C-alpha cells in the first residue's frame, strides 16, 4: 500500500497550495531554517525552506532565467558578479553561462541548503564546483559590509523577508550593496508577488529609492509560488533596463533559454495597472 | 463556534488549490453543471462551475480586461460584438465600456450561472441589463451556426473543454465563427494554461490555424487558476494584434483599467521560450 502523501503550503489564513509527494528525500533543521527536499508528482524534485516552496525542477528555469539574464544582458560587459543567497545553485548556473563573466561569488548563509541541493537536485546545483565560482558559506549582509571588491551585477536571490533573509530587505544592506557595485552596477532582487505582497514590494522599493538613482520592478510567471505573478526589483546606478538593453546581444550570445528571450526582456517591465498604481512614485517603469 | 470551511480545487492528481470559505451563498445543479457561489476569505465572492474556480472578485478584472480590451483595441471600430459564454457578466461589462460598441450579444448556455451571478456577484453581473446588451440563454454552437448577423469581434469566454464547453474547442464551431465574423473580424478565446495544459492550447490552435489566416496566443497572470500564467488565443482575418494596434486609442478612449494598458497589450504577446517552442508552427507571434 502506498500512502497518500501531500504537502501543503499555507499562505496567510486564506490560501493553501497542495503538492502530491512521492518521496521525502531529505529533511533537516539548520541553524537558520528547516530544509526539505521531496520528490513530487507533477513538479519533479522540490526544495522547501521552513515549509515554503523555493524551487521545483519543473519551473525553476523561469525564476533563474529572469533573475539572471535581465541584468546580465543590460550590463554591457558583466565580469564580476555577486550572488547573495541562491543556495540551490540555479542562479549561479545561469550566471556562469555568460562568456563575459570572469568570476562569480556566491554567499549563501545556509550550508544545509547547498548540501541538500548538491545531493538531491543536481539540475540546479550542477555548477556549484565551477572554476569561476567562489562559494562562500556566510552572511551576505556581513559580506557586502566588508568586501573591498567591486561587482558589476549583484543578484539578491533570497527567501521571503522572514527568518534569515529579513536583513536583506533593509536600507543598511542596500547601502553596502551600492558601495560594492561598480560605477555602472546593477542589483536585482527577489521581489515577491504583486497580487499578495504589495506591501513588501512597496517597502523594498522605498529602500531602493533611498539608495539608487533608478528603481524598477519586472515580472514573470512562477508556477509554484502563491500568486503566480512574481517580481524582481532592478536598481541601477546608470543603465535603464529597457532603453539601454541591446537586444542583439541575446542572439549574439549563442545561448538558448527555456524562459527568457529578448522580447520578453522588455515585456517584463510592462506592468498591469494595479501594480503601477500600487507602486506609483516608487518605480521608474514607463 | 465557527466551522473551518475550505474548498479545494484539485488539478489532475498532483496539485490542489485551497481557498478559505466564509459562507456558501448559492449551490445548485443545472442541466449542464454544478454552480456554486461562495464568500471566501481573501478573494471575495467566488463562482465555481463543477467545482472549478471561474471568477473571484479579487482578480476577475485581469481576465475580463485581457479577454476584452485586446481585441476591442485592435479592431479599429468594433460595433457589433458577440460573447459566447461569459455568464458571470464580466466580459459584457468590459465590452459595454467601449463607446464604439452599438450592440453586444451574449449567448450563455446556463441560465443558472447568470442568475446566481445576478443575485450574488453584482461586481461582474451589474451590466447584464444594459440597453445595448442582448442576452440569449442558449447554445453558442447553435447560435453561430444559424445567425445571419456579422460580428466585428467574437469573444469565446468559455470554461475548460470538458462538460458543456467541449464543442467550443472544435473546428466545426470555429468554421461557423469565421462565417459570422465581418471581413476584418477577430475572435478571442479562453486559451488555458501554458504550464499545465499545453496540449489543449496546441489542439485549439490547430483548429484556429485550419480556419483563420492568422493565429496568436497572448498571456496574462491569473491569480486563482492552476498555473497562474493564463492565455487567450487571438485569431484574425486581417489585423495583426500588435502591428495593427493603434496605442493612442487607449488614452483617447478615456477608459481607466485595473489590469490592461497599452504597454501590456503588446507585452502580452511576448511569450516565454517554452511556450514558443511548445506552440512552434501554430502561432504567428513574432
CATH number at B29 reads 2.30.140.10
Q: Could you report the per-residue pLDDT of B36-63, keeping only the tens digit for each?
A: 999 999 999 999 999 999 999 999 999 9
Please report which residue ranges of chain B form alpha helices under DSSP H.
60-74, 90-95, 111-120, 122-125, 140-146, 171-179, 198-211, 248-252, 262-267, 273-278
Domain presence at residue A286: no
Residue B223 has its nearest CB partner, among A8, A227, A273, at A227
> Taking CB atoms and an 8 Å cut-off, how many pairs form between chains A and B?
130
State the smallest CA–CA distance between residue B43 and chain A in angstroms: 8
State the smallest CA–CA distance between residue B228 and chain A in angstroms: 5
Show residues of chain B in contact with A261, CB under 8 Å. Answer: 270, 272-273, 276
Residue B228 has its nearest CB partner, among A229, A258, A276, at A229
Q: Going by C-beta distance under 8 Å and a sequence separation of 6 or more, which residues neighbour residue B27?
A: B34, B35, B36
State the smallest CA–CA distance between residue B172 and chain A in angstroms: 33
pLDDT of residue B94: 98
Q: Are residues B12 and B125 in the same domain?
A: no
Q: Scanning every residue of chain B, which has its alpha carbon at the shortest distance from the alpha carbon of A227?
A: B223
Q: Going by C-beta distance under 8 Å and a sequence separation of 6 or more, which residues neighbour residue B128?
A: B89, B92, B114, B117, B118, B135
CB contact under 8 A, B273 and A263: no
Q: Going by C-beta distance under 8 Å and a sequence separation of 6 or more, which residues neighbour residue B164?
A: B32, B33, B109, B110
Task: Report the C-alpha gap between A2 and A90 in whole angstroms.
Answer: 32
pLDDT of residue A2: 61
pLDDT of residue B1: 46
Q: Are residues A210 and A151 in the same domain?
A: yes
State the smallest CA–CA distance between residue A263 and chain B in angstroms: 6
Domain presence at residue B257: yes
Show residues of chain A in contact with B41, CB under 8 Å. Answer: 13-14
Q: Is B108 annotated as a binding residue?
A: yes
pLDDT of residue B60: 98
pLDDT of residue A3: 72
B→A interface, C-beta within 8 Å: 6, 8, 12-20, 40-43, 59, 61-62, 195, 219-223, 227-229, 256-261, 263-264, 266-268, 270-274, 276, 286
Are the CB atoms for A82 and A108 separated by under 8 Å?
no
Q: Are residues B51 and B77 in the same domain?
A: no
State the smallest CA–CA distance between residue B16 and chain A in angstroms: 5
| A-interface mutation test, from B4, B6, B10, B18, most A Cβ less than 10 A away | B18
Is residue A17 pLDDT above 90, yes or no?
yes
Q: Which CATH number belongs to the domain containing residue B198 in this structure? A: 3.40.50.150
State the smallest CA–CA distance between residue B114 and chain A in angstroms: 27
Are the CB atoms for B104 and B81 separated by under 8 Å?
yes
Residue A267 has its nearest CB partner, among B222, B260, B267, at B267
Cα-Cα-Cα-Cα torsion A53, A59, A61, A67, nearest 10 degrees, comes to -50
Domain presence at residue A25: yes
Q: Scanning every residue of chain B, which has its alpha carbon at the shortest distance from the alpha carbon of A274?
A: B258
Show residues of chain A in contact with B272, CB under 8 Å. Answer: 62, 220-221, 258-261, 264
* pLDDT band at residue A1 under the 50/70/90 scheme: very low
Q: Scanning every residue of chain A, which has its alpha carbon at the shortest distance from the alpha carbon of B8?
A: A16
pLDDT of residue A195: 95
CB contact under 8 A, A18 and B20: no
Domain count, chain B: 2
Is residue A73 pLDDT above 70, yes or no?
yes
Q: Could you report the per-residue pLDDT of A199-231, keeping only the tens digit for each?
A: 999 999 999 999 999 999 999 999 999 989 999
Q: Please name which of A62, A12, A11, A60 lies closest in space to residue A40, comparing C-alpha atoms.
A: A60
Domain presence at residue B207: yes
Q: Scanning every residue of chain B, which has its alpha carbon at the shortest distance from the alpha carbon of A66?
A: B272
Domain presence at residue B283: no
Catalytic residue (one of A36, A157, A246, A284): A157
Domain presence at residue A10: yes
Q: Are residues B38 and B151 in the same domain?
A: no
Q: Are residues A154 and A34 in the same domain?
A: no
A184 is catalytic: no
Is residue A81 pLDDT above 50, yes or no?
yes
Q: Are residues B52 and B91 in the same domain?
A: no
Q: Are residues B47 and B101 in the same domain?
A: no
Domain end, chosen from A31, A55, A79, is at: A55
CB contact under 8 A, B42 and A195: no
Q: Could you report the per-residue pLDDT of A32-65, keeping only the tens digit for each?
A: 999 999 999 999 999 999 999 999 999 999 999 9
Q: Could you report the per-residue pLDDT of A164-190, keeping only the tens digit for each?
A: 788 899 999 999 999 999 999 999 999
Q: Is B157 annotated as a binding residue?
A: yes
The C-alpha cell that represents B67 in the structure block: 479577454
Q: Could you report the per-residue pLDDT of B82-120, keeping only the tens digit for each?
A: 999 999 999 999 999 999 999 999 999 999 999 999 999
Residues of each annotated binding site of A for spermidine: 64, 88, 157-160
| A-interface mutation test, from B267, B271, B285, most A Cβ less than 10 A away | B267
Q: Are residues B12 and B103 in the same domain?
A: no
Q: Is B265 annotated as a binding residue?
A: no
Q: Are residues B22 and B112 in the same domain?
A: no
- Report phi then psi at B174, rounded to 5: -70, -25
* pLDDT band at residue A160 under the 50/70/90 scheme: confident
Q: Are residues A93 and A214 in the same domain?
A: yes
Report the relative pairing of strands B80-85 and B52-56 from DSSP bridges: unpaired
Q: Are residues B66 and B172 in the same domain?
A: yes
Range of the domain at B144: 60-278
CB contact under 8 A, A42 and B222: no
Domain presence at residue A96: yes
The C-alpha cell that represents B34 in the structure block: 454544478
Across chain B, how many H-helices and E-strands are there? 10, 12
Domain end, chosen from B56, B76, B91, is at: B56
Q: Are residues A265 and A180 in the same domain?
A: yes
Domain presence at residue B215: yes
CB contact under 8 A, A61 and B13: no
Task: List per-block mean pLDDT (blocks of 10 residues) for chain B, which spans 286 residues.
Answer: 84 96 98 97 97 97 98 98 98 98 98 98 98 98 98 95 86 97 98 95 97 98 93 98 98 97 98 98 95
CB contact under 8 A, A16 and B12: no
Q: Please name which of A67, A103, A69 lies closest in space to residue A88, comparing C-alpha atoms.
A: A67
Q: Could you report the per-residue pLDDT of A92-110, keeping only the tens digit for each?
A: 999 999 999 999 999 999 9
Amino acid at each position: 500500500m502506498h500512502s497518500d502523501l501531500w504537502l501543503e503550503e499555507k499562505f496567510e489564513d486564506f490560501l493553501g497550495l497542495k503538492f502530491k509527494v512521492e518521496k521525502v528525500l531529505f529533511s533537516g533543521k539548520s541553524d537558520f531554517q528547516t530544509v526539505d527536499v521531496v520528490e513530487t508528482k507533477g513538479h519533479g524534485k522540490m526544495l522547501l525552506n521552513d515549509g515554503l516552496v523555493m524551487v521545483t525542477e519543473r519551473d525553476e528555469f523561469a525564476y533563474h532565467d529572469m533573475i539572471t539574464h535581465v541584468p546580465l544582458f543590460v550590463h554591457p560587459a558583466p565580469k564580476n558578479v555577486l550572488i547573495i543567497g541562491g543556495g540551490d545553485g540555479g542562479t549561479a548556473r545561469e550566471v556562469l553561462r555568460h562568456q563575459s563573466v570572469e568570476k562569480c561569488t556566491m554567499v549563501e548563509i545556509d550550508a544545509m541548503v547547498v548540501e541538500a541541493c548538491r545531493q538531491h537536485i543536481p539540475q540546479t546545483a550542477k555548477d556549484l564546483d565551477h572554476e569561476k565560482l567562489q562559494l562562500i558559506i556566510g552572511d551576505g549582509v556581513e559580506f557586502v559590509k566588508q568586501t573591498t571588491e567591486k561587482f558589476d551585477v549583484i543578484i539578491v536571490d533570497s527567501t521571503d523577508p522572514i527568518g534569515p533573509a529579513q536583513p536583506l530587505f533593509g536600507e543598511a544592506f542596500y547601502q553596502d550593496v551600492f558601495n560594492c557595485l561598480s560605477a555602472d552596477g546593477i542589483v536585482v532582487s527577489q521581489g515577491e508577488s504583486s497580487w499578495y505582497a504589495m506591501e513588501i514590494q512597496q517597502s523594498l522599493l522605498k529602500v531602493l529609492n533611498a539608495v539608487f538613482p533608478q528603481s524598477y520592478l519586472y515580472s514573470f510567471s512562477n508556477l509554484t509560488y502563491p500568486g503566480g505573478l512574481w517580481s524582481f526589483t532592478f536598481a541601477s546606478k546608470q543603465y535603464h533596463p529597457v532603453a539601454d538593453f541591446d537586444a542583439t546581444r541575446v542572439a549574439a550570445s549563442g545561448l538558448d533559454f527555456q524562459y527568457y528571450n529578448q522580447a520578453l526582456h522588455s515585456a517584463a517591465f510592462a506592468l498591469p495597472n494595479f501594480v503601477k498604481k500600487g507602486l506609483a512614485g516608487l518605480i521608474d517603469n514607463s
